[in-house]
Chains A and B, each alone.
Chain A
């Protein structure tokens, strides 16, 4: 995207007024998407976004500017704007000398097959197949929306410490949402598949199966009764139940919250923060999961970080700035939505390691409770630890058997308390993709776990 001598000159310009650290993050992203709705291909969209963000760190202050102009002139102007914060510092100037940058700007997603691209016609065929499969699932299906989106994102990162790194990743996503109409009104079902892959996603994923799953959810919920109100044991099926860990502790382990004393997990490294059944990992390297990448958005290779080992808190998640303050290295968790944003500490793929229980046994040993087949999302206040997560497909458990479907509801708990209440973890591990929003920035993440049980959670239904 940008020649190395230009990078060096721009970094020098960025430090002209002083400052200890300068960085260029350049990005070139191509998106295309198609939507089938109400039986018609309504919209095909293509987008191109290209630009660079430049930051300068001077003491406790970060200056940041971004530009869509990747010429040397455009980058110099952004460097000048970002360096304005260092003006008061008055420190000595530094020059990033020619040849200072080492590393490779080529993709670091080594050993991976080149992502394939499907034609627009191929994408439309998938959408139509999904639409047909959903509508064939039952006469109650009244509306189907199927969406396809794919993007290729190239990034280049260079900084005044001599780092030069690059990455290139394709991400592809396919989703189906259905509405079912019955005597009780309308209900919805939603299923999505998303991987850090190109069109080969569809070698692994059947769009018909996604469509049938979404349709089955909507149809099942037509007969759903109001969810209970109050505290009950809850069994979370493998996959989307991982949202629990994303909210109950993942966000609270992000070092930006820790250094501001805005997390219930501040100062708890080495302490028992969860049931001994909990070993929690954040891993940006695994396979083609949705939160996987080669290097993070600060040029640090993705890595596997164990956060909780057998219930004991072992570490937090770090980006460059927060790690620098502590005199340690980033854990590869500095991510940003685009070149227009400053990086922050973010999760990648966050998951609970499988246990030894049998998933069916866990249900059988639950007298009365709720079985959550699918969670839709959640939210946490990291300072208090209070969090919610919402069901999109849940059932009652009565006498150890999964019985009636329940209408959608949020569950609420407090992270440190809920983590102690995990009393069974099965072996049937799976991952699920999601979009994580923080401070206005969205990034792709993965969540995962095996079927597990919480001995008690407050369920926010309407049934008394």
Chain B
């Protein structure tokens, strides 16, 4: 291996909480565009801390900063992209050169274009907690240790606390393009996450819980622990459940997962490329009349709330399904152009190493008129299965065909109440049928990590495979 000499490293010295410095860097790189070239420069920087506690001690403490750049270049309708996990001065030029070289080989496509400011004003959302930076590491360690201790002592049936983590992230990004885009974002978040193992005799069951927030204050070990412990303990004694048709009540966390799956079919790109079950069905009844689905990243309570999308356009509220009727899709600039519509401000990207594409940030279902909480939904359903965890979502759900089959754990619902626990079963249907078979939507909205709200959902006519 070669050796490294001292390099200049000035561009990366951008102080935390100062996105204007990142914007200036992005502007400088975008200024290198040649005539006939459109360019978009995305720069991001973050710091993170993670503390993992185990048996009364710190198992690991991670502290890190990272930064990177992603550059898109369009020449003659051909797109090239390159990224680097560094903001070193030497890296910036290399990355741009690679992006230019990549553009030479792409297929010319009139729809390939960068976002242009569309006059929609961004809804200001403050996602930055100034206090986070001043919290000393020792307090973060204390919180992780307290979480672990609390979980261990919460119930005599808790045999093991398999993980107890504190984590926080402060992330900033800036986006500048030759087409007039200039935006910056900054966001902090903090979380507590705990995993426990409950045991009775030979049987063991697991449960997880968490507490999330914009910073350090407000993180609640009690909440995370109670959730984890009750999930594990109530599954003790679970046996393989019976096969048959049933109404399934998905708890709030599972509902978040379900909506995320549906969201992939609402992407304007999937529609334009014939990979969506909803393609060509705008104006048709695709769901139960009680199904109204909206993506609204301007709701500051949403975990995925954002002022700007990943192309620098203002995020906005988009109605997708109303009263079961499909109203539209989410578009970024390219997929919008392909479909002859404007971007809906719905570009998302996986950090500096990814390119933008349309996606949801804050999906939510309109609650049913009854205003049910979880108990209300259970009572309304009467008999069925309550699912508190699913496995194999990536291996058993095909969002293109709509086939849906997942492993599940939960409790039977008898007389409108949670009854005996079951495990090692699957629940199956198709996404198309599930949307039409909606039985109830809870008003118990909780914003959990992810792109969709958590709210208790009941779906009828699903197949359980078990004994």
Q: Interface residues, chain A, CB within 8 Å of chain B? A: 1-3, 34, 37-38, 40-51, 59-74, 81, 84-85, 105-106, 120-121, 124, 142-143, 154, 156, 166, 168, 179, 181, 185-188, 221, 227, 229-231, 260-262, 264, 340, 342, 375-381, 383-384, 386-390, 407-414, 458-464
The 8 closest A-B pairs by CB, nearest first: A460-B426, A390-B395, A410-B396, A388-B392, A377-B395, A44-B102, A388-B407, A49-B85
CA distance in complex: A120, B355 (Å): 19
Q: Flag if A185 contacts B402 (CB, 8 Å).
A: yes
Check A383/B395 contact, CB under 8 A, given A1-B2, A46-B82, A412-B425. Answer: no
Check A229/B428 contact, CB under 8 A, given A120-B105, A379-B395, A389-B395. Answer: yes
CA distance in complex: A65, B61 (Å): 8
Q: Flag if A185 contacts B277 (CB, 8 Å).
A: yes
Tell me, rounded to whole Å, the shortest Cβ–Cβ distance linking A412 to chain B. Answer: 5
Q: Flag if B405 contacts A409 (CB, 8 Å).
A: yes
- Complex partner residue of A51 from B79, B85, B205, CB under 8 angstroms: B85
CA distance in complex: A80, B12 (Å): 19
Check A461/B463 contact, CB under 8 A, given A390-B405, A407-B401. Answer: yes
Chain A residues near B63 (CB-CB < 8 A)? 64-65, 81, 84
Number of interface residues of B (CB under 8 A): 90
Tell me, rounded to whole Å, the shortest Cβ–Cβ distance linking B285 to chain A. Answer: 17
Tell me, rounded to whole Å, the shortest Cβ–Cβ distance linking A125 to chain B. Answer: 11
Q: Flag if A61 contacts B407 (CB, 8 Å).
A: no
Q: Flag if A186 contacts B60 (CB, 8 Å).
A: no
Q: Flag if B106 contacts A42 (CB, 8 Å).
A: yes
- Complex partner residue of A407 from B9, B355, B403, B423, CB under 8 angstroms: B403
Nearest B residue to A414 by beta-carbon distance?
B424
Tell me, rounded to whole Å, the shortest Cβ–Cβ distance linking A203 to chain B. Answer: 23
Is B154 close to A, CB under 8 A?
Answer: no
Tell me, rounded to whole Å, the shortest Cβ–Cβ distance linking B253 to chain A. Answer: 15
Q: Flag if B406 contacts A410 (CB, 8 Å).
A: yes
Contact residues of B between 250 and 281, Cβ < 8 Å to A: 272-275, 277
Nearest A residue to B85 by beta-carbon distance?
A49
- Supply 22 A–B pairs (Cβ within 8 Å), ascending by A: A34-B105, A48-B86, A61-B58, A71-B4, A81-B63, A168-B1, A229-B243, A229-B426, A229-B463, A262-B160, A377-B395, A378-B392, A379-B395, A383-B197, A383-B206, A384-B204, A386-B391, A390-B392, A408-B405, A458-B465, A461-B463, A464-B244
Is B34 close to A, CB under 8 A?
Answer: no
- Complex partner residue of A63 from B6, B61, B82, B240, CB under 8 angstroms: B61
Q: Which of B64-72, B172-180, B412-420 forms contacts with chain A?
A: B64-72
Chain B residues near A410 (CB-CB < 8 A)? 391-392, 395-396, 405-407, 426, 428
Chain A residues near B18 (CB-CB < 8 A)? none
Q: Flag if B355 contacts A261 (CB, 8 Å).
A: no
Is B130 close to A, CB under 8 A?
Answer: no
Check A48/B60 contact, CB under 8 A, given A407-B403, A408-B405. Answer: no
Q: Flag if A381 contacts B391 (CB, 8 Å).
A: yes
Given contacts A69-B12, A342-B60, A390-B396, 17 further A-B contacts (CB under 8 A): A3-B3, A42-B109, A46-B83, A46-B101, A49-B84, A50-B86, A64-B60, A124-B105, A383-B162, A384-B204, A384-B205, A386-B424, A387-B407, A388-B395, A388-B407, A390-B405, A461-B463
- Complex partner residue of A179 from B95, B109, B112, B275, CB under 8 angstroms: B275
Is B59 close to A, CB under 8 A?
Answer: yes
- Complex partner residue of B426 from A166, A188, A412, A463, CB under 8 angstroms: A412
CA distance in complex: A234, B265 (Å): 32
Contact residues of B between 63 and 107, Cβ < 8 Å to A: 63-67, 79-86, 88, 91, 94-95, 98-99, 101-107
- Complex partner residue of A43 from B88, B106, B137, CB under 8 angstroms: B106
Q: Flag if B395 contacts A378 (CB, 8 Å).
A: yes
Chain A residues near B80 (CB-CB < 8 A)? 44
Q: Flag if A460 contacts B275 (CB, 8 Å).
A: no
CA distance in complex: A50, B59 (Å): 26
Q: Flag if A413 contacts B424 (CB, 8 Å).
A: yes
Q: Flag if B162 contacts A458 (CB, 8 Å).
A: no
Nearest A residue to B430 by beta-carbon distance?
A462
Q: Flag if B396 contacts A460 (CB, 8 Å).
A: yes
Tell me, rounded to whole Å, the shortest Cβ–Cβ distance linking B276 to chain A. Answer: 9
Q: Flag if A61 contacts B64 (CB, 8 Å).
A: no
Tell me, rounded to whole Å, the shortest Cβ–Cβ distance linking B380 to chain A. Answer: 24
Tell me, rounded to whole Å, the shortest Cβ–Cβ distance linking A338 to chain B. Answer: 9
Check A68/B392 contact, CB under 8 A, given A1-B3, A84-B61, A458-B424. Answer: no
Is B349 close to A, CB under 8 A?
Answer: no
Is B139 close to A, CB under 8 A?
Answer: no
Chain A residues near B35 (CB-CB < 8 A)? none
- Complex partner residue of B83 from A37, A47, A460, CB under 8 angstroms: A47
CA distance in complex: A96, B437 (Å): 67
Chain B residues near A413 (CB-CB < 8 A)? 424
Chain B residues near A40 (CB-CB < 8 A)? 106-107, 109
Q: Flag if B353 contacts A379 (CB, 8 Å).
A: no
- Complex partner residue of B61 from A41, A62, A66, A121, CB under 8 angstroms: A62
Chain A residues near B57 (CB-CB < 8 A)? 59-61
CA distance in complex: A187, B427 (Å): 20
Tell me, rounded to whole Å, the shortest Cβ–Cβ distance linking B69 to chain A. Answer: 10
Is B429 close to A, CB under 8 A?
Answer: yes
- Complex partner residue of B9 from A2, A69, A81, CB under 8 angstroms: A69
CA distance in complex: A44, B58 (Å): 43
Chain B residues near A227 (CB-CB < 8 A)? 405, 428
Chain B residues near A65 (CB-CB < 8 A)? 62-64
Tell me, rounded to whole Å, the shortest Cβ–Cβ distance linking B207 to chain A. Answer: 10
Q: Flag if A409 contacts B403 (CB, 8 Å).
A: yes
Is B121 close to A, CB under 8 A?
Answer: no
Is B289 close to A, CB under 8 A?
Answer: no
Tell me, rounded to whole Å, the shortest Cβ–Cβ distance linking A86 to chain B. Answer: 10
Of the candidates A65, A186, A377, the one having the most CB atoms from chain B within 10 angstroms of its own CB is A186
Chain B residues near A380 (CB-CB < 8 A)? 391
Chain B residues near A1 (CB-CB < 8 A)? 1-4
Chain A residues near B86 (CB-CB < 8 A)? 48, 50-51, 68
Is B245 close to A, CB under 8 A?
Answer: yes
Q: Flag if B83 contacts A45 (CB, 8 Å).
A: yes
CA distance in complex: A268, B137 (Å): 40
Q: Flag if A262 contacts B162 (CB, 8 Å).
A: yes
CA distance in complex: A328, B20 (Å): 52
Contact residues of B between 1 and 44, Cβ < 8 Å to A: 1-4, 6-7, 9, 12
Q: Flag if B401 contacts A41 (CB, 8 Å).
A: no
Chain B residues near A168 (CB-CB < 8 A)? 1
Q: Flag if A2 contacts B3 (CB, 8 Å).
A: yes
Tell me, rounded to whole Å, the shortest Cβ–Cβ distance linking A35 to chain B. Answer: 10
- Complex partner residue of B82 from A47, A378, A412, CB under 8 angstroms: A47
Check A70/B4 contact, CB under 8 A, given A46-B82, A185-B402, A376-B395. Answer: yes
Tell me, rounded to whole Å, the shortest Cβ–Cβ distance linking A66 to chain B. Answer: 5
Q: Flag if A412 contacts B85 (CB, 8 Å).
A: no
Q: Flag if A260 contacts B105 (CB, 8 Å).
A: no
